[in-house]
Amino acid sequence: MLYGLMTEEINFSYDGGIYPELVRDRAIGHGWGALTHWTMVARGNSAVTISEDETTGPSEALPRSIKVSVTSATEAAPAGLQNDGYWGIPVRPQATYTGSFYAKSDSPSLPVTVSLVNDETGVAAATATIAGVTSEWKQYSFTLKTGELPVTANNHLILTIPRPATLWLNLVSLFPPTYQARPLGNRIDLMEKLAAMHPKFLRLPGGNYLEGNHISERFDWKTTIGPWVDRPTHPGAWGYRSSDGMGLLEFLEWCEDLKIEPVLAVYAGYSMAQEHVEPGPALKPYIEDALDEIEYVTGGPETKWGAERIRNGHAAPFPLHYVEVGNEDWFDRSGSYDGRFAQYFKAIKQRYPQLQVIATAKVKSVTPDVLDEHFYMSAQESLTDAGHYDKADRKGPKIFVGEWATREAEPTPNLEAALGDAAWMTGMERNADLIVMACYAPLFVNVNPGGMQWATDLIGYDVLSSYGSPSYWAQVLFGKYLGTEAVAATLTNAGSRVFVSATRNEKRRKLFVKVVNATSDEAPLSIALEGIGQVKRDAMLITLSGKTPNATNSITHPDAVVPVEHRIEVAGPKFEEKFAPYSINVLELSY
């Protein structure tokens, strides 16, 4: 379980990121600037205005809509509106896009034409027409198929009508092909990058995103399940509203697609504007919500919330071993976490004794199974503190390093940061008896202007492509080449900027030795494998390195710093190897 993923709605990670909805602000509601990315379209002499209508919407959760008032339009000169997506809408050749919208109209059987149109040329890549929108709110579906055309990012989605009428719209949606073709699933390139990290778990749904700035803005999981039309959306913690398309079930399916398990963080009665719920009777409804959430994840058809999950489209329960109570509750200045945690801990253990319960701050009244500790460090701090857990107390709870990163450069870390990360990971591997899980944060950043709220994020992307930072590649190496147990590894006379860890997989007869050289010089090392008997001659050395600590990857130069594999020969259990300046290395040895 050592390495996993930490996720939250930050830097447009879900909307505009791994949740590949192409229409920005698909849900319309009062006061959240939902029309910012919607503009009028009037061809020829047609005329149209668009506004937010507070009097009609498709559901109780979404009681408002966009009112499209067309006063003049013809087949040849239609009118309507367009959406510009998340910094563009990507169009690829021979691709099928699935779309839908909720609509009603004051004109019987109103046809609505939907097109994906190039910003520069005005040429439609694909078009579909929905025959008859009626006077009752209803969902309409369509498909857009592209032919042979170049890959482009600068496109928009247009909806038009061919005659004067009023059209009300909400939840206009367009999805590209998704990872493993899951209907309404995740973005393919980002999921592939995550899979390459060989993660074991996904910590969800955040981070600050779990808590929200105010209690009313927490991740209230019950409002994130079921049809979109029943999801009211909510303000996220990082300055923009979440569509809640990435709801609880979508998180779980994300885990399923990567064959990993969730580490479920439940809201624990504290939000970041120093709002908290007093332990005792006031906290009970929140604890009930958490127990219901666990039941939604793990329950069978005989349970209320297990049955709800099945109604939402997922028959099988999900595996769950760890539940985390809150996030960074050391920020709660009221001192209420001890009482809150104890109340959650008892309630969860009583109903689900098999679960491991994680605390997010030190508590006294009960002993948590696991304590979540966070570290955001400079490169120097990561190197200096790489032995942080070497002498840590083994009598207390196990440790979950639930957020950590070396923070150098933005929007994504450079090689200097990756070296700090790798040094820090050697420390985690050495102490894997204590550290049960660890995950880097944040995972994602949309690199477009305005996309980033937190500098130094593992994977960067725009609407078309993505890249892994040097720190991402360090994660890939440490996650991919990992044994099932740590073995002792010591360095002598190598200086304070060289680091080592070793793990082995006894079944596969593999030994993985990781060497981090954070110096500007080559590090020639004599390696002695003790207690292993023979080692096979053919081995592999995988190296991530660069000429300077500033070396990095970017959206325009995605592959400047990537791992390189070399086949090497080792003479026996004692051999010499040279490690490049500024390098992160894995020796894969067979025995």
Q: Which residues bind ligand AHR (CB under 6 A)?
A: 8, 10, 206-208, 327-328, 403, 441-442, 454
Nearest to 219 by CA among 230, 228, 208: 208
Q: Which two tokens stand for residue 379?
A: 């490169």
Identify whether the C-beta of residue 216 lies closer than 8 Å to the C-beta of residue 194: no
Q: How far is the CB of 288 from ligand AHR (least distance, A)?
A: 25
Between residues 452 and 541, which has the closer beta carbon with respect to ligand AHR?
452
How far is Cα of residue 254 from the mean position of the Cα atoms in its chain? 9
508's CB contacts (< 8 A; 6+ apart) are none
Between residues 9 and 244, which has the closer beta carbon with respect to ligand AHR?
9
Q: How far is the CB of 16 from ligand AHR (least distance, A)?
A: 17
Between residues 286 and 440, which has the closer beta carbon with respect to ligand AHR?
440
Identify whether the C-beta of residue 411 lies closer than 8 Å to the C-beta of residue 499: no
Cα–Cα dist 467/506, whole Å: 34
Q: Is 315 exposed, middle or buried (0-12, 13-18, 19+ CB in 10 A)?
A: exposed
DSSP H/E element including 192: helix 188-196
Q: How far is the CB of 405 from ligand AHR (least distance, A)?
A: 8
Identify whether the C-beta of residue 234 lies closer than 8 Å to the C-beta of residue 247: no
Amino acid at 456: T
Q: How far is the CB of 205 from ligand AHR (least distance, A)?
A: 11
Between residues 152 and 224, which has the closer beta carbon with respect to ligand AHR?
224
Q: How far is the CB of 318 from ligand AHR (least distance, A)?
A: 23
105's CB contacts (< 8 A; 6+ apart) are 133, 134, 135, 161, 165, 166, 167, 168
Q: How far is the CB of 351 from ligand AHR (least distance, A)?
A: 27
Q: How far is the CB of 6 from ligand AHR (least distance, A)?
A: 7
Q: How far is the CB of 347 from ligand AHR (least distance, A)?
A: 24
Between residues 438 and 542, which has the closer beta carbon with respect to ligand AHR?
438
Nearest to 229 by CA among 161, 170, 184: 170
Per-residue three-class SS string for 271-327:
ECCCEECCCCHHHHHHHHHHHHHHHHHHCCCCCHHHHHHHHCCCCCCCCCCEEEECC
Provide the residue count of the chain.
591
Between residues 208 and 471, which has the closer beta carbon with respect to ligand AHR?
208
Q: How far is the CB of 29 from ligand AHR (least distance, A)?
A: 24
Cα–Cα dist 345/355, whole Å: 10
Between residues 200 and 203, which has the closer beta carbon with respect to ligand AHR?
203
Between residues 8 and 53, which has the closer beta carbon with respect to ligand AHR?
8
Cα–Cα dist 296/318, whole Å: 9
Q: How far is the CB of 441 from ligand AHR (least distance, A)?
A: 4
Amino acid at 307: A
Q: How far is the CB of 330 from ligand AHR (least distance, A)?
A: 10
Between residues 209 and 318, which has the closer beta carbon with respect to ligand AHR?
209
Q: Is 433 exposed, middle or buried (0-12, 13-18, 19+ CB in 10 A)?
A: exposed
Residue 150: count of CB within 10 angstroms of its CB: 9
State the residue number with the nearest CB to ligand AHR: 207
Residue 96: count of CB within 10 angstroms of its CB: 12
Between residues 207 and 546, which has the closer beta carbon with respect to ligand AHR?
207
Between residues 86 and 454, which has the closer beta carbon with respect to ligand AHR?
454
Q: What is the CA radius of gyration of the chain?
A: 26
Distances in whole angstroms, Cα of residue 561 to Cα of each of 315, 408, 413, 582: 43, 15, 11, 11
Between residues 215 and 532, which has the closer beta carbon with respect to ligand AHR?
215
Between residues 238 and 512, which has the closer beta carbon with respect to ligand AHR?
238
Residue 400: count of CB within 10 angstroms of its CB: 29
Q: How far is the CB of 14 from ligand AHR (least distance, A)?
A: 13
Between residues 82 and 446, which has the closer beta carbon with respect to ligand AHR?
446
Q: How far is the CB of 446 from ligand AHR (least distance, A)?
A: 15
Cα–Cα dist 171/58, whole Å: 9
Strands in 370-377's sheet, in edge-to-edge order, are 5-6, 201-204, 261-266, 322-325, 356-359, 370-377, 398-406, 435-438
What phi, psi does 360 have (nearest 5°)? -105, 0
Q: How far is the CB of 237 from ligand AHR (least distance, A)?
A: 7
Amino acid at 313: G
Q: How far is the CB of 328 from ligand AHR (least distance, A)?
A: 5
Between residues 11 and 414, which has the closer beta carbon with respect to ligand AHR?
11
